[in-house]
Amino acid sequence: MLMNVIQYLISIWRPLVCAVAIVAVLPLVAGYIVLMERKVMADMQARLGPMRVGPHGLLQPIADALKLLIKEDIIPDESDKAIFWFAPLISVTCAMLAMSALAIGPWFQIADLNVGLLFVVGISALGIFGIVLGGWSSNSHYSLLGALRSAAQLVSYETAAGMAIVGGLLLAGTLSTREIVETQGDYGWWFAFVAPVGFFIYLVASIAETNRAPFDLPEAESELVAGYMTEYSGFRWALYFLAEYTNMVVVASIATTLFLGGWLRPFASTPIFNFLDYIPSLLMLLVGGYCFYRAPKQPVQVQKLFMVAVGLLLIVVAIILALPLVPAVNEMVPGLKEGLHGAFWFLLKVGLYIYTFMWLRFTFPRYRFDQLMRLGWQFLIPLSIVNVLGIGVALVLHRHWGWSHWIAFPLTTALTLLVAGWLGWAGEKKDAGQVFVGEL
Amino acid sequence: MIPISQCLFLGMVLFTIGVIGVVTRRNVIIILMSIELMLNAVNINLVAFSRLVGSAEGHVFAIFIITDAAAEAAVGLGIIIAFFRNRETLLGDEMDLLKW
Amino acid sequence: MLDQIIFHFFAALAIVSAILVVTRRNVVQSAIFLITALLATAGIFLQLHAEFLFIVQIILYAGGIMVLFVFVIMLINLDVSLHQIQYNRQWWLGFLLALVVGAEFALAIAVGRSQLALGEPAPASALEPSTQLVGKVLFSEYMLPFEVASILLLVAMIGAVVMAKKKI
C-alpha cells in the first residue's frame, strides 16, 4: 500500500515540484515585488527608497517578514473568532491555487486543465470571500464598509474582465493555457495586437480586480484606514498582503498567457527574427556589465562587493541562458531552449505588466467609489460586450468570407473604438449634469 | 468508474437535507439556502445520468438549473430585503400579515 | 481505488456541510458551509467528467450566488436572531415527512439499481471535450431555452433592482 503511494507520488514528480516551488518561492517573490514597488515609487518620486537594510535595501522584505511574524496578534473582542481566523486563509489559498493552472514556461505547470483559464478566473472569484468575511468578522464599521465596497468593485470588474477574456478566447479557440500559447505561436501574432481593445479592457479590469490604484479606494490609508484589513495585525495582515501581490502575479500571468504570447519570444514563428533568441543572454550581460560599472562608485565597501557579486550572478545566468543556443547542448536535453527561454520571456512579460501596474499607481489619482462603479458598469461592460461582438464578426469575416486578417481585425477594432468613444462621450455628458438615461 | 447508484444516493441525501431545512427552519435566508441545496442535489443526479448515457444534454439542463437558481436567489433576496425594511423580521413565522 | 476514495471524500464533505448548513444558529456560518457544500459538489462534477459544469459551478454558484447571499446577510444582520428559537413549532412533522420522502427515493434507487446498468455505461471519452460538447448541444438543439434563460435573467435583474429600491 505504501509502495503504491510512493510510486504514485514519483509518477507525478513534476507537478509536485512545481507546487512546492509555488508555495515556497511565491511568498518570497511577492515580498520582493513589494520591494520593487517601493523602489519604483521612489524612482518616480525622485528619491531612493529603502537603502539601509542590506545592500540597496535588498534584505528589506526579510526584515519586514520577520517584523510581521513577531508582532502581537490582536483579535477584536466581539468578533466571530472562527471566521476571523479563516478569512485570510481563503484569500491566500485562492490566490495560490489560481497559479496552478498557469504555465510559466512549457516545463513549469501544475495541471494543464482543459478548462484552465476559466478555472483561474473562477478561483480568483472565490478570493472575494476572503475579503468579505474578513471585513465582516472584524466587527468594525470601517472594515465592513471597506469589505463591501471592495467586494462590489471586484464583482463588477470581474464581469468586464471575464468578457475581455472571452474576446481573447474566441481567437484562441480553447481554454487550456498551454494550447492558447501554442495557438498564438501558430497564428504568428500575439492576441494583444489582434484584439487590442480586449487587452486594454483586461488591463483596466485587472487593476480594479487586484484593488490597485487608481481603484484602491477600499484599502487606501486616507480613506477607510485600510478597509477590510484594518483589524488584522501581524502575520494575518501579511497573509492578506501576500494574497494581494500573488493576485497581481496571477492576473499578470493570465494577461501574458492570453494576450501577450505566454512564453513565446516576439515573432516566434518567423525564422528571420531568430536573432531575437540572443536577447535573454544579452540582457543579462548588459545588466551584469552595468553592475560592474557601478561597483567602484558605491560609497560603502559591502555595497561594492555586493554589486560585484550581483554582476557575477547575472553573468552566470547569461551563460545558462546562452547554453541552449549551442546545438550540441540542445540535443542532449530535449526542449531545453523552450524551457529556459520560455520561462525567461514569460517572467519578463509578467514583470513588465506588473511594472505597468506600479507606473499607473504612481501616476493617477484615486477614483471615487461612484466614479469607479460607473466606469465599470457603464463603460467597461458595454465595451467588453461590443468587443466580443466585434471579434466574432471579424472571425466570421476572416474565416468564412475569406477576408484577409489585415482588413477584418483592424476594421472591427476601429468600430469597437468608435463605440468606446461614444460611451465615453455619453458618460461625460451625464457627469456634466445632463440626464442621459431617464432615472428609474 | 464510480457506480452511478452511489451518485444518485448522494443526490437523494442532499435533497432530503434540503427538504428538512425548508420545512424546519424559521429564518427565511436559511430556507433559501436549503432550496439552493435541493437544486444542487438535482444537478448531481442530472450529471450522473449524463455520465451514464454519455451525452451532454444533462450538463446543459444542469446549466439551466444553475441559471434559474441565480435568478431566483436574486429576486428572493430582493423580496427579503424589501420585507425586512418593512417589518424588521427575518422569521418565516412572523411574515403572516399582508397589511393591517 | 483512488477514484473511490476521492468520491467518498467529496460526498462526505458535501453531506456534512449540508447538515451544518441546516443546523447552524449563525447565518454567516450557514452560508460558509453552503459554499463548502457547493465546492464539494463541484468536485463530484469533476469526477464525473463534467469539467465545464465544474467550472460553471465554481464561478456562478460559489462565486456569484453565494457572494450575493453573503452580501445580503451582512446588510440585514440581526444580532437578536442569534437568540431566537431556530426551529418552528411543527419541526418534528416536517422532519418525519422529509424522512419519508427520502426513504421513498432510497427505495426507488435500491430497487432500480440493477436496471441502471443500461447495457454498459458510456465510455468517459464520450464526454471528453466537455466545453465543446456542451457548447454544441446548447447552441444547436437548446437554442430556444438558452434565449429564454437570458430573458429570465433580464427579468430577474429588473425585478431585483425594483425590489431593493426604497422608492419605486
Provide, rounded to the nearest whole percent, the portion of chain A with pLDDT above 90: 39
C-alpha cell of residue A279: 536577447
What is the predicted pLDDT for the residue at C38? 96
Mutation choice for A interface testing from C2, C30, C67, C68 by most A CBs within 10 A: C67
The reported pLDDT for the residue numbered A431 is: 59
**b/e code C84-123 from CB counts within 10 Å (16+ = b):** eebbeeebeebeeebeeebeebeeebeeeeeeeeeeebbe
Rounded to whole angstroms, how far apart are CA atoms C73 and A135? Answer: 13
β-bridge mates for residue B27, sequence order: B91
Determine the angle formed by the axes of helices A141-172 and A128-137, rounding to 10 degrees.
180
Based on the domain organization, do A83 and A224 belong to the same domain?
yes
- Cα–Cα dist A39/A352, whole Å: 15
The helix or strand, by DSSP H or E, that contains position A270, with its residue range, turns out to be: none
In whole angstroms, what is the distance from residue C136 CA to residue C148 CA? 18
Average the pLDDT over A333-338 and give the result: 80
Q: Is C130 an 8 Å CB contact of chain B?
A: yes
Residue A83 has which C-alpha cell? Answer: 471566521
pTM here is 0.91
Residue B78: count other Cβ atoms within 10 Å of its Cβ. Answer: 20
What is the rounded CA–CA span in Å between residue A250 and residue A260? Answer: 14
What is the rounded distance in angstroms from the CA atom of residue B83 to the CA atom of residue B78? Answer: 9
Enumerate the β-bridge partners of residue A108: A105
Residue A96 lies in a domain: yes
What does the pLDDT average to over A113-133? 91
Distance CA A239, CA C16 (A): 28
- The answer to whether B56 and B75 have CB atoms below 8 angstroms apart is no
Asked whether the predicted pLDDT for residue A58 surpasses 70, the reply is yes
A83 contacts in chain C (CB < 8 Å)? 28-29, 32
**Co-location of A231 and A284 in the same domain:** no
Q: Examine the domain organization and report whether A182 and A199 are in the same domain.
A: yes
Answer for the pair B27, B92: CB distance below 8 angstroms, yes or no: yes
Interfacial B residues in 23-62 facing C (CB < 8 Å)? 23-27, 29-30, 32-34, 36-37, 40, 43-44, 47-48, 50-57, 59-60, 62
Do both A293 and A234 map to the same domain? no
Is there a contact between C74 and A113 if contact means CB atoms under 8 Å apart?
no
**B24/C19 Cα distance (integer angstroms):** 13
Return the pLDDT at A167.
92
| Confidence category of residue A392, pLDDT binned at 50, 70, 90 | very high
| In contact, B64 and C149? CB cutoff 8 Å | yes
Alpha carbons A284 and A85: distance in angstroms, whole number: 44
Q: Is residue A165 part of a domain?
A: yes
The grid coordinates of residue A238 equal 501579511
Domain boundaries, chain B: 4-91
Task: Work out the number of other CB atoms within 10 angstroms of the CB of residue C61.
Answer: 24
The whole-number pLDDT of residue A326 equals: 81
Number of structural domains in chain A:
2
Question: Given this model, what pLDDT does residue C58 score?
Answer: 94
- Number of Cβ pairs < 8 A linking chain A and chain C: 64
Q: pLDDT tens digits, chain C, 168 residues: what are they? A: 788 999 999 999 999 999 999 999 889 999 999 999 999 999 999 998 899 999 999 999 999 999 999 989 988 877 777 778 888 888 899 999 999 999 999 998 888 877 766 556 677 677 778 888 899 999 999 999 999 999 999 999 999 888 877 776
The answer to whether domain B4-91 has CATH 1.10.287.3510 is yes
Inter-chain touch C74–A136, beta carbons under 8 Å: yes
Q: What is the DSSP secondary structure assignment for residue A260, as one 8-state letter? A: S
User: Please, are residues A178 and A113 in contact by the beta-carbon 8 Å criterion?
Assistant: no
Residue A267 has a pLDDT of 83
Tens digits of residue pLDDT in A231-280: 788 888 889 889 999 999 999 999 999 999 888 888 877 888 888 888 88
- Asked if A80 has any chain C CB less than 8 Å from its own CB, the reply is yes
Q: What is the DSSP string of C84-117?
A: S--B-TTHHHHHHHHHHHHHHHHHHHHHHTGGGG
B74 membership: H or E segment, kind and range: helix B57-87
pLDDT score recorded for residue B100: 63
Give the Cα separation of A166 and A174 in Å (integer): 10
Q: Are residues A251 and A303 in the same domain?
A: no
Q: Is the pLDDT of residue A317 over 70?
A: yes
Q: How far apart are CA C140 and CA C125, in angstroms?
A: 21
Q: Whose CA is closest to A212, among A359, A65, A320?
A: A359
Q: How many whole angstroms separate alpha carbon C69 and alpha carbon B74?
A: 9
A35 with A65, same domain? yes
Under the banding of pLDDT at 50, 70 and 90, the label for residue A435 is very low
Cβ atoms C63, A126 nearer than 8 A: yes
Q: What is the pLDDT of residue A149?
A: 86
Q: What is the arithmetic mean of pLDDT over A341-352?
A: 92
Same domain as A238, residue A119: yes
- Across C34-77, where does the E strand assignment appear? none
DSSP per residue, A122-152 = HHHHHTHHHHHHHHHHTT-HHHHHHHHHHHH
Judgement on whether residues A191 and A319 belong to the same structural domain of the protein: no
Quote the Cα angle for A39-A43-A45, to 5°: 115
Strand partners, C87: B25
Q: In the structure, what pLDDT confidence band is assigned to residue A440 with cuts at 50, 70 and 90?
A: very low
Provide the pLDDT for residue C160. Answer: 87
Distance between C79 CA and the closest CA of chain A, angstroms: 12
Q: Find out whether the peptide bond into A334 is cis, omega within 30 degrees of 0.
A: no
C-beta of residue C152 within 8 angstroms of C-beta of residue B71: yes
Asked whether the predicted pLDDT for residue A366 surpasses 90, the reply is no
Neighbouring-strand partners of residue C118: none
Please name which of A147, A376, A243, A124 lies closest in space to residue C71, comparing C-alpha atoms. A147
Cβ–Cβ under 8 Å, residues A95 and A246: yes
**Do A161 and A307 have their domain in common?**
no
The per-residue pLDDT string of chain B (100 residues; one tens digit each, 9 = 90 and over) reads 678 888 999 999 999 999 999 999 999 999 999 999 999 999 999 999 898 888 889 999 999 999 999 999 999 999 998 888 888 888 888 888 877 6
Structural domain that includes position A304:
271-325
Give the three cell numbers for residue A26: 511565491
pLDDT, chain A, mean: 87
Residues A37 and A157 in one domain: yes
- Chain A positions in Cβ-Cβ contact with residue C134 (cut-off 8 Å): none
Residue given cell 471585513 in the structure block:
A135
Residue A43 CB neighbours (<10 A): 13
**How many residues comprise chain B?**
100
Do C144 and C66 meet the contact criterion of CB atoms below 8 Å apart?
no
| β partners of residue A105 | A108
Domain contains A159: yes
Domain identity same for A256 and A275: no
Same-domain status, A163 and A202: yes
